[in-house]
Amino acid sequence: MLLPEPVQRVIEAFSRLPGVGPKTASRLTFHLLRGQSSLAEELAAALGGLHSGTGSCGRCFNITAAGRELCPVCASAERERGLVCVVEEPLDVLALERTGGYQGLYHVLGGALSPIEGVGPDDLRIAELLERVRAGGVQEIIVATNPSMEGDATAMYLQQQLAPLGPRLTRLARGLPMGGDLEYADQGTLLRALAGRQELS
Amino acid sequence: MLLPEPVQRVIEAFSRLPGVGPKTASRLTFHLLRGQSSLAEELAAALGGLHSGTGSCGRCFNITAAGRELCPVCASAERERGLVCVVEEPLDVLALERTGGYQGLYHVLGGALSPIEGVGPDDLRIAELLERVRAGGVQEIIVATNPSMEGDATAMYLQQQLAPLGPRLTRLARGLPMGGDLEYADQGTLLRALAGRQELS
């Protein structure tokens, strides 16, 4: 092998990240090699503290700082406690928080139902969600799983499970994305946008 | 800030890599968080050893394992020692080695001349190249800088400097890339391909 082993090791580790192929991994590695050692070392130190420095919220399973029982959202006194938004991943919480338009709590499932990948209800935080609802105080649950096959299957399953418990069940609207172009919208999106059309007022 | 500081740190470090924006950095970080801690730790360990485990070849300035005076190419007894290919970066050496069609030595400049970015001849390993040639034994120099403005300027500068020293000077052919489509080739490539046309034989 032409490349020294330490270089090879970094390239291989980078290649295991999603969306990073061997060429990108080489480019990133050689970028780090070219510069001063500071960036490589900072990244190494940050990665080393990633798992030890984080945990998951005891209520909503969002990511939180290590040693904290609850995440900042669950711990906040200013959030609407009767409203729970169910999402697949912690990144979805981040996306919703960035909008600044949501004031309720969250519940992070940790994925979506997928028979193909062998993900069943027991692999997600569904039992914990049902428990939260049974404990009372939840008026509305917004199902915000991804608009995908898996996300839709998960939403349907949640509906079956949650309906008998009484809270209002809603889901995020489907339609044309902002800044989107009708001409380039796919068939599914357009059908949903037609079916969900609203009165001009 | 909603995200715990250890997570924020990894996202920021990733964002400083070339071609990695804040969204990609978040995606990579959350991928690492989702999995077991092994990948994050392996990447951290590999990065920690990147600079300490590598050095540059004393002759051609390619990357080599730490503590080695010469890189595997320069140390090999099987390479043609009269042939030197001049490239900008160690990644270019890798690309040429992968072809399996080059048996000479290399010289890594460490970049290309760029007045805009303030890179002059003294910032590259040009003096070292001239010294190698003056030391004797080099019959041909293949200038393999990138087919870009900076690469071409560097090639011209090298030609001026090297011509008086006597070795044969060549450069990589320009033309249509393999698997490329004439229809999609840009004007510059097509002009070069026309000018460099060869006899069908």
What is the secondary structure of B3-29 as a DSSP string? S-HHHHHHHHHHHTSTT--HHHHHHHH
Q: Would the pLDDT of B1 be above 70?
A: no
Tens digit of each residue's pLDDT (9 = 90 or more) over B68-93: 899 999 999 999 999 999 999 999 99
Residue A96: in which H helix or E strand, if any? helix A90-99
Instruction: Centre a 10 Å sphere on the Cβ of residue B149 and count the other Cβ atoms it contains.
Output: 12
Whether the full predicted model's pTM is greater than 0.90, yes or no, is: no
Q: Search chain B and give the residue with CA nearest A42.
A: B13
The answer to whether B33 and A63 have CB atoms below 8 angstroms apart is yes
Amino acid in the structure at residue A107: H
Whether A47 and B47 lie within 8 Å, measured CB to CB:
yes
- The pLDDT value recorded for residue B179 is 79
Whether B49 and A6 lie within 8 Å, measured CB to CB:
yes
Count of alpha carbons within 13 Å of B60, Cβ hemisphere only? 26
Q: Residue B112: which pLDDT band, with cuts at 50, 70 and 90?
A: very high
CB within 8 A of B65, min separation 6: which ones? A4, A5, A6, B53, B54, B55
Instruction: State the nearest Cα–Cα gap between A169 and chain B, in angstroms.
Output: 26
Token duo for residue A95? 């996306």
Which one, of B143, B110, B140, lies nearest residue B127 by Cα?
Answer: B110
- The pLDDT value recorded for residue B81 is 93
Q: What percent of chain B has pLDDT over 70?
A: 98
Q: Search chain A and give the residue with CA nearest B93.
A: A2
Whether A39 and B13 lie within 8 Å, measured CB to CB:
yes
Chain B residues in contact with A5 by the CB 8 A cut-off are 53, 65
Q: Where are the domains of chain A?
A: 5-48, 54-171
Q: Search chain A and give the residue with CA nearest B71.
A: A2
Q: Residue B192: which pLDDT band, with cuts at 50, 70 and 90?
A: confident
Whether B28 and A17 lie within 8 Å, measured CB to CB:
yes
- The pLDDT value recorded for residue B174 is 83
Q: How would you label B28-45 residue by residue, b for 16+ Cβ within 10 Å and e otherwise?
A: bbbbbbeeeeeebbbbbe
pLDDT averaged over every residue in chain B = 90
- The pLDDT value recorded for residue B186 is 83
CB within 8 A of B98, min separation 6: which ones? none
Instruction: State the nearest Cα–Cα gap between B124 and chain A, in angstroms.
Output: 13
- The pLDDT value recorded for residue A184 is 81
CB within 8 A of B127, min separation 6: which ones? B121
pLDDT, averaged per 10 consecutive residues of chain A (201 residues), comes to 85 92 92 83 90 91 90 93 94 89 94 93 96 94 92 94 93 83 82 81 70
d(CA A95, CA B2) in angstroms, rounded, equals 11
Q: Would the pLDDT of B178 be above 90?
A: no
Among 2.60.40.420, 1.10.8.420, 1.10.3130.10, 3.90.79.10, name the CATH number for the domain at A5-48.
1.10.8.420
- At residue A36's C-alpha, the angle toward residues A34 and A38, to 5°, is 130
Q: Search chain A and give the residue with CA nearest B91.
A: A30
**Range B145-148, long-range pairs (CB < 8 A, 24+ positions):** B145/B86, B145/B87, B145/B88, B145/B109, B145/B112, B146/B88, B146/B92, B146/B112, B147/B172, B147/B174, B148/B112
CB within 8 A of B30, min separation 6: which ones? A89, A90, A91
Tally: H helices and E strands in chain A: 8, 6
* CA B178 to each of CA A124, A148, B146, B152, B174: distance values in angstroms, whole numbers, following the listed order: 49, 39, 17, 22, 12
Q: Would the pLDDT of B149 be above 80?
A: yes
Chain B residues in contact with A16 by the CB 8 A cut-off are 39
Instruction: State the nearest Cα–Cα gap between B86 and chain A, in angstroms.
Output: 17
Question: 3-class SS at B112?
Answer: coil
Point out the residue among B6, B27, B42 whose CB comes nearest to the CB of A53. Answer: B6
Under CATH, what is the fold of the domain A54-171?
Answer: Dna Topoisomerase Vi A Subunit; Chain: A, domain 2 (3.40.1360)
Instruction: Centre a 10 Å sphere on the Cβ of residue B160 and count the other Cβ atoms it contains.
Output: 8
- The pLDDT value recorded for residue B197 is 82
- The pLDDT value recorded for residue A1 is 53
- Write the ipTM: 0.78
Q: Is B97 exposed, middle or buried (0-12, 13-18, 19+ CB in 10 A)?
A: middle
Q: What is the DSSP letter of A143?
A: E
